[in-house]
Structure 1
Amino acid sequence: MTDHSRKDFCPVVSTLSTYQIFLIGEQLRSCMNGVGLVRDRKYRLRSYKSCFQGNETVDWLVRSKRCEDRLFAVRIMRVLQKWAFFHHVCDDHKFKDEMLFYRFRRDDDTIRSHKDLLLFYKVLDIYHSINSSKKGILRSYQLKEQVYARAFMGTAFVDWLVKTGMADTKEQAIITGRQLLENDIIRHVSLSSAVTDDHHFRNDNMLLYQFNLDLDQRRRMSDVLILDDQRRMSTDSHNSTEPQDTPTRFLESHDFSTHANTCDNECYEMNSTETEKPANTSLMQPNSVLLRYETADELESPDTPYIKSCVRIFSDSVGYGFVIRGIGPTYVQTVDPEGPAADAGLKVRQYVYSVNGVNVLREDHHSVAQRIINSERDYINICVMSHKRDM
């Protein structure tokens, strides 16, 4: 992969993760309004409009089983606060399990100073309006042998924005389309039946687009932590093509539990005769082979370009012969060309869907490694997901 590809990858992951965090925050805001947690309050003769109280919110999050305990609830709320989804009414406190007041930025004018959040709500309005329209622009298109559901043409999108008043002119509508494409909210589908970013958004009846996000999908609160980690790691790594984590080499005889507490940014390899100490990461940490880091939700989408296949890999005297990475989903980083994994047909860039019949799509590479190591047979049945371009 070229340096240009790596450069372009990080904004894609970080931007998409940011809007997924906002989506979880908006679903939370909607629920909290529904149960009366967001309301006008008074403290020391001063009124605070449309706000919620820290300890009441934590009570509700734990009671409704959205969070496992109070500390976990505070941790999740602080991530949402970090991404400016809400703030303390006087901007004096981080979120605390105390009698402190906070306000969602959607409910006051402070949202105008946060362009990502402002664009998210613009996208949300567009998405819901398009999906609720009886004569919407979303339909299925067939390009060669591939059917793309819920897609739209550039011209139809521009005309629809102007007709509904979401854009005053076609020029403004085109700018909106470009904002959505640049922030990975929509993606272009080429005539070669492959998802690509080669084209800028255009007012064209020959260019087909799809939404990258399902804004109606219910998300778990705990996903905030995973998405925040993806966003942070993709930003920190700069030239890396996905969040940095530890590759794990699967060999036949070793005790993985001895490395269970190894820091995520360390890199190590274990063999059948001895366990080595983690090596210098600057020398051993390879760049990811991924062209684009997909989320588990994207892989399970009905419109995913990934195809599932299953292989059985027999261990030889050395091991299985492949390396995995990822924080959920896990993917194949390298395959020994002379090892049993290569003989079975395993390839790099494949996402691990299941191991011995157990779905592991949302498990990190440590958990997937443990399942493989704990296999009671001399082989593993592994199902993987491959992009059509790699088949």
Structure 2
Amino acid sequence: MEFISSNVQKQAEIFQRQTEIRLAGEQLRLRLHNAKLIKDRGVQRFTYPSSFVAKEVVDWLLARKEAPHSEIAVSIMQKLFESDVIHHVCDAHATFKEDKLFYRFRNDDGTSIPTNQMRMAVRCQRIYEKMINEDNSIIKVRTEGSRQYRRTFFGSEILDWLVKHGEVHSRADGEKLCKTLVDYGLIRHVTGRYKFCDSNMLFQFTINFRRKRKLTEILGDPAEARQDSPDSPFSLEKLSDELPQSSFVCVLKKPVTLEELLAPGAPYFMKKLTVVGDDLGWGFVVRGNGPCHVQALDPGGPAQRAGMKIRHFIKSVNGCDCLKFPYQKINQLVGYGPKHAIIEVLEHID
């Protein structure tokens, strides 16, 4: 058994997130086609096939509650723009703008340039779909230790399947393919610690290719998915195996005292955030009896947009020192205050 280095793990997580963004973009493309928002459009003497109007799509996202307000809708489309999923029809704009401008999905105009990562993602999805459609699929929910894992298979089992179905010529080729899929964050050992090998070790597909994605998921911070450093007082727990890598809550591994937070040379630095609440609230959950920490965030919510992260300690709210307050008191300060809150947080230096 070979261990995976932390750098390879982090890169695989980045690749996985990029794949999740492209899948969300493809699902949106198909929905916009069904809604007749993608069509041939003309301006003066020019025709732009399979294009959409930015303002129309933003309005459509709001009407279907895919985003709580236009800022989030624009941020979603900007993320797709940055990920090279969409572009301006003339490439005349370097950002996505909520205006009467024409944009296109690169999958509609053939301008997407496939990378090795993209080719592997497509191949992995094809293999996944073939496997999952079989009557006695090797992809199952299995238990290892005290935990259950979805979309799992044994290392030797997938090699048997790949050879049998002509996906590879030999087990050696299959092992090489699976190692590449691990590198691109498409499969992994259920603990995430080991490289792929021809064995009875348990691996899993990291992505449910069939899951309908919420577009706000693509705004999640990939840094939240990283494993904590040994010195961190927190551990991360995934909300669900069906959600992407950024869907975590944090749990204190050990109590952190006020003295530890404020001691000279303590591994924390302060940040001041301005959080503007919306109709749905503030977008963060605080827990603790003092000092209190941010346990969870709404993807794309007001707090996350302001720069708040899970694992932040709440130092003050609107100038009121909160380090000794229980979480109920902090919730009152935020909830009963003005619609925008000035929140000072302490962030751990990883």
Q: What is aligned with 1:62? A: 62
CA-CA distance at 1:152 after TM superposition = 1.3
Q: Distance in 2 between matches of 1:367 and 1:197?
A: 27
Specify the SS of the correspondent of 2:17.
helix
Q: Give the fraction of aligned pairs with identical amino acids, expressed as a percent.
A: 25
Compared with structure 1, are the counterparts of its residues 11 and 290 closer, same or farther at alpha carbon in structure 2 (3 Å cutoff)? farther
Compared with structure 1, are the counterparts of its residues 42 and 172 closer, same or farther at alpha carbon in structure 2 (3 Å cutoff)? farther
Specify the SS of the correspondent of 2:196.
coil
CA-CA distance at 1:300 after TM superposition = 2.5
TM-score scaled by length of structure 1: 0.57
CA contact (8 A) 1:85 1:117 kept: no
Of 187, 193, 198, 1:197 maps to 193
Q: What is aligned with 1:373? A: 326
Q: What is aligned with 1:136? A: 137
CA contact (8 A) 1:84 1:105 kept: yes
Compared with structure 1, are the counterparts of its residues 165 and 333 closer, same or farther at alpha carbon in structure 2 (3 Å cutoff)? same
Given the alignment of the two structures, is residue 79 of structure 1 paired with residue 74 of structure 2, yes or no?
Answer: no
Matches of residues 284-303 of structure 1 in structure 2 within 5 Å? Answer: 289=231, 298-301=238-241
Q: What is aligned with 1:221? A: 215
CA-CA distance at 1:60 after TM superposition = 0.9
Q: Distance in 2 between matches of 1:52 and 1:293?
A: 43
Q: Distance in 2 between matches of 1:292 and 1:367?
A: 10
The residue type equivalent to 1:373 in the other structure is P
CA-CA distance at 1:146 after TM superposition = 5.8
Q: What is aligned with 1:99? A: 100
Q: Distance in 2 between matches of 1:292 and 1:122?
A: 37
CA contact (8 A) 2:234 2:311 kept: no
The residue type equivalent to 1:57 in the other structure is V
Q: What is aligned with 1:177? A: 178
How many residues align? The count is 281
Compared with structure 1, are the counterparts of its residues 291 and 37 closer, same or farther at alpha carbon in structure 2 (3 Å cutoff)? farther
Structure 2 gap ranges (5+):
260-284, 289-293, 299-308, 330-350
The residue type equivalent to 2:240 in the other structure is E
Structure 1 gap ranges (5+):
190-194, 235-239, 243-286, 304-325, 340-352, 377-391
Specify the SS of the correspondent of 2:210.
coil
Specify the SS of the correspondent of 2:213.
coil
Q: Distance in 1 between matches of 2:233 and 2:163?
A: 35
CA contact (8 A) 1:241 1:292 kept: no
The residue type equivalent to 1:65 in the other structure is K
- Aligned-residue CA RMSD (Å): 4.5
Q: Distance in 2 between matches of 1:5 and 1:84?
A: 29
Q: What is aligned with 2:249? A: 329
CA contact (8 A) 1:74 1:97 kept: yes
Compared with structure 1, are the counterparts of its residues 22 and 289 closer, same or farther at alpha carbon in structure 2 (3 Å cutoff)? farther
